[in-house]
């Protein structure tokens, strides 16, 4: 795996994660640094080093500044044996840190939950050499909220570019890369872009981006900005009025979530086991494996690494360990129907804003094949029943009328004459609208607390499972492997499951 972090070097040192065996440091950069920057660099490099890590000047014929060496020595760096190395090379050997490498562990894991979160974690572990067993109470994967027929992967816009918006952009990078690697374009997903209709007449583009429109701060490539004011042509493709206020999201797509789940679980070292309901968890001792029990108290299996990704059901499993987590159910219902030749006012690209609408999605059900449209969804908090309710279809149509009046007019007859089909699912949310990822216990000297060691979480994504599940799986796997994390440390800390330890539930 190749990890790239591109940007301001001083910020990268503060936000980078993982530990490295070899660090090559530009002496030109050091000469340009002031005293404060050098002090921060010394602290940052020490945080990225493990016992025995080598620090070498670059170019090799140069040397680290003499006035900077005391700062390095005070943080555990000592002169290295320079045989075969550049003069002035340093090695990280702090007296206060244990030099014993961690013991090797068997790379076998069990994941509870075969939805977006569970399949993403399983895939990220399998790609790193793990044998993963995925359990689910249903007979097939994606039987819960991840069974949504079609969903949108689209950035979260905010005028002040909130931290949540930045986390979701990082998640979308991961999801689009995974979709491109595993799914069939045009059938399972399509990188169409998404037009966000600002129905209140206020643009959701970050103010800093609008002030510097020629050079937005967060580009995927030189020619593809994350978001921009929608052009007249884009409004026309979306079948919206020319005076509509809208934002065009270039890096966005529609995806069939259940197909992403299936594709991830097809990894050769992942084994899915359905019709298996885990009722409670126990661990007889700190060095014992986790035991998964059914509703009669009989043990289903044992595992050293256990990952909970069972959505709202994760709350019950954690309660069996006296580890409460404030997960709450959020029910959502969508409406969908077959697209007819008379539906001329349906947009060529997905539209979101007040709800969402995607059209021209290829679909096959029984013997019927064609294209469908899909719109929604409702939001029923503290509702744990995934039944389709006819009385909610008028609410869905009214929301569509606000989002896209022309499409609502085109589909009014379908709603009125009962040609609309529905789907409902229950998602799990946390009060701060961000998932819980990683170990629930606090770390002690880089290791999880003994009581909950080997227990990991990836849950609480709410309606953002498509945007965040792949990122969460990669973050969890990177932390287990001491790799660089797939996003900045300050953003990753927002997702840490341990943030709920001292909060009332």
**Helix ranges (DSSP H) in 97-252:** 116-126, 163-182, 207-211, 232-237
**What is the structure's pLDDT at 351?**
97
Task: Give the closest residue to 127 by CA, choosing from 182, 58, 193, 90.
Answer: 182
Least confident of 82-86, 166-170, 226-230, 246-250: 82-86
Q: How far is CA 434 from the centre of its chain?
A: 10
Cα(78)–Cα(91) distance, integer angstroms:
5
Give tens-digit pLDDT for 68-91. 889 999 999 999 887 778 778 899
pLDDT category of residue 220 using cuts at 50, 70 and 90: very low
Cα(188)–Cα(151) distance, integer angstroms:
11
CATH fold of 9-92, please? Answer: Rossmann fold (3.40.50)
Task: Give the closest residue to 108 by CA, choosing from 288, 307, 263.
Answer: 307
| Cβ pair 45, 23 in contact under 8 A | yes
Cα(442)–Cα(178) distance, integer angstroms:
30
| Cβ pair 314, 159 in contact under 8 A | no
**What is the structure's pLDDT at 225?**
62
Q: Taking residues 246-250, report their average pLDDT.
A: 93
Phi and psi at residue 369, to the nearest 5°:
-140, 150
Give tens-digit pLDDT for 409-420. 999 999 999 999
Is residue 222 predicted with pLDDT exceeding 50?
Answer: no
Determine the 3-state secondary structure of 230 from DSSP: coil
* Long-range contacts of the stretch 388-395 (C-beta < 8 A, 24+): 388/333, 388/422, 388/423, 388/424, 389/333, 389/422, 389/424, 390/422, 392/333, 392/422, 393/335, 393/420, 393/422
SS (H, E, C) 281-292: EECCCCCCCEEE
Position with higher pLDDT, 100 vs 161: 161
**What is the structure's pLDDT at 141?**
97
Position with higher pLDDT, 221 vs 156: 156
**What is the structure's pLDDT at 105?**
62
Packing angle between helix 465-480 and helix 116-126, nearest 10 degrees? 30
Task: Give the closest residue to 19 by CA, choosing from 484, 438, 477.
Answer: 484
Give tens-digit pLDDT for 292-313. 999 999 999 999 999 999 999 9
**What is the structure's pLDDT at 33?**
86
Buried-exposed string 51-85: b where 16+ CB fall within 10 A, e elsewhere: eebbbbbeeeebebeeebbebbeeebbeebeeeee
Give tens-digit pLDDT for 18-44. 889 999 988 888 888 888 888 889 999
Q: Taking residues 172-189, report their average pLDDT.
A: 97
> Could you tell me the pTM of the whole model?
0.91
Is residue 224 predicted with pLDDT exceeding 70?
Answer: no
Task: Read off the tokens for 353.
Answer: 């804003």
pLDDT category of residue 385 using cuts at 50, 70 and 90: very high
Q: Across 78-92, 210-224, 352-366, which has the greatest mean pLDDT?
A: 352-366
Q: How many CB atoms lie within 10 A of CB 299?
A: 10
Mean pLDDT rounded to a whole number for the chain: 89
Q: pLDDT above 90 covers what percent of the chain?
A: 66
Distances (CA, A) of 336 to 23, 184, 333, 359: 54, 22, 10, 10
Q: pLDDT above 70 covers what percent of the chain?
A: 92
The residues with which 352 forms a beta bridge, in sequence order, are: 196, 356
Cα(49)–Cα(72) distance, integer angstroms:
12
Which position has the token pair 């320079």? Answer: 82
pLDDT category of residue 101 using cuts at 50, 70 and 90: low
Q: Taking residues 139-148, report their average pLDDT.
A: 96
Q: Taking residues 273-286, report their average pLDDT.
A: 93
Q: Taking residues 272-278, report their average pLDDT.
A: 97
Q: Taking residues 344-352, report their average pLDDT.
A: 93
Is residue 125 predicted with pLDDT exceeding 50?
Answer: yes
Cα(138)–Cα(113) distance, integer angstroms:
9
**Helix ranges (DSSP H) in 160-268:** 163-182, 207-211, 232-237, 257-265
Domain ranges (residues) in the chain = 9-92, 108-143+259-327+430-500, 186-247+331-429
> Which parts of 77-184 are beta strand (E)?
77-79, 90-92, 108-112, 131-135, 151-153
SS3 content of the chain, % helix, strand, coil (to 5): 30, 25, 40
Determine the 3-state secondary structure of 246 from DSSP: strand
| Cβ pair 312, 426 in contact under 8 A | yes
Buried-exposed string 328-366: b where 16+ CB fall within 10 A, e elsewhere: bbbbbbbbbbbbbeebeebbebbbbbbbbbbbbbebeee
Task: Give the closest residue to 174 by CA, choosing from 483, 493, 467, 465.
Answer: 467
| Cβ pair 337, 417 in contact under 8 A | no
**What is the structure's pLDDT at 455?**
94
**What is the structure's pLDDT at 291?**
96
Give tens-digit pLDDT for 448-495. 556 688 999 999 999 999 999 999 999 999 999 989 999 999 999 999
pLDDT category of residue 178 using cuts at 50, 70 and 90: very high
* Long-range contacts of the stretch 179-182 (C-beta < 8 A, 24+): 179/153, 179/253, 179/255, 179/260, 182/260, 182/263, 182/264
Is residue 221 predicted with pLDDT exceeding 80?
Answer: no
Q: What is the CATH number of domain 108-143+259-327+430-500?
A: 3.50.50.60
| Residue 162 neighbours by CB under 8 Å, 6+ apart | 156
| Residue 93 neighbours by CB under 8 Å, 6+ apart | 51, 52, 76, 77, 78, 99
**What is the structure's pLDDT at 27?**
86
**What is the structure's pLDDT at 219?**
40
| Cβ pair 19, 48 in contact under 8 A | yes
Whether 108-143+259-327+430-500 and 9-92 are alike in CATH topology: the answer is: no
CATH class label, 186-247+331-429: alpha beta
């Amino acid at each position: 795996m190749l990890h790239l972090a591109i940007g301001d070097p001083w910020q990268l040192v503060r936000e980078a994660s993982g530990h490295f065996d070899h660090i090559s440091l530009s002496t030109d950069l050091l000469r340009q640094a002031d005293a404060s920057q050098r002090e921060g660099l010394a602290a940052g490099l020490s945080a990225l080093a493990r016992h025995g890590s080598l620090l070498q000047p670059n170019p090799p014929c140069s040397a680290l500044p003499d006035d900077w060496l005391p700062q390095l020595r005070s943080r555990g760096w000592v002169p290295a044996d320079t045989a075969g190395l550049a003069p002035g090379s340093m090695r990280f050997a702090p007296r206060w840190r244990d030099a014993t490498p961690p013991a090797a562990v068997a790379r076998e894991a069990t994941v509870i939950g075969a939805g977006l979160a569970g399949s993403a974690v399983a895939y990220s572990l399998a790609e790193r050499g793990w044998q993963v067993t995925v359990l689910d109470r249903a007979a097939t994967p994606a039987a819960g909220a991840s069974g949504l027929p079609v969903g949108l992967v689209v950035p979260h816009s905010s005028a002040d570019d909130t931290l949540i918006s930045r986390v979701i952009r990082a998640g979308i990078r991961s999801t689009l890369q995974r979709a491109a690697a595993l799914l069939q374009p045009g059938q399972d997903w399509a990188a169409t872009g998404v037009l966000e209709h600002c129905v209140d007449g206020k643009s959701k583009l970050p103010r800093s981006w609008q002030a510097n429109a020629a050079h937005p701060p967060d580009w995927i490539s030189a020619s593809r900005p994350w978001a921009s004011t929608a052009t007249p042509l884009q409004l026309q493709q979306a079948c919206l009025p020319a005076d509509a206020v809208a934002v065009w999201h270039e890096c966005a797509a529609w995806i069939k979530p259940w197909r992403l789940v299936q594709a991830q679980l097809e990894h050769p070292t992942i084994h899915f086991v359905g019709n298996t309901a885990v009722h409670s968890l126990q661990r007889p001792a700190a060095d014992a494996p986790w035991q998964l029990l059914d509703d009669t108290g009989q043990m289903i299996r044992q595992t050293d690494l256990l990952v909970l990704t069972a959505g709202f059901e994760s709350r019950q499993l954690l309660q069996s360990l006296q580890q409460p987590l404030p997960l709450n159910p959020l029910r959502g219902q969508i409406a969908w129907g077959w697209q007819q030749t008379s539906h001329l006012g349906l947009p060529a690209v997905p539209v979101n804003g007040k709800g969402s609408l995607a059209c021209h999605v290829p679909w096959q059900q029984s013997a019927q094949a064609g294209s469908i449209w899909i719109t929604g969804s409702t939001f029923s908090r503290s509702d744990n029943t995934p039944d389709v309710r006819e009385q909610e279809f008028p609410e869905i149509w009214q929301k569509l009328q606000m989002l896209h009046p022309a499409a609502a007019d085109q589909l009014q007859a379908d709603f009125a004459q009962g040609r609309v089909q529905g789907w409902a699912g229950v998602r799990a949310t946390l009060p701060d609208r961000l998932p819980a990822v990683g170990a629930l216990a606090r770390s002690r000297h880089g290791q999880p607390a003994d009581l909950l060691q080997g227990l990991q979480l990836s849950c609480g994504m709410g309606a953002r499972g498509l945007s965040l599940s792949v990122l969460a799986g990669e973050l969890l796997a990177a932390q287990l492997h001491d790799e660089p994390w797939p996003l900045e440390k300050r953003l990753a800390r927002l997702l840490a499951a341990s943030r709920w330890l001292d909060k009332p539930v």
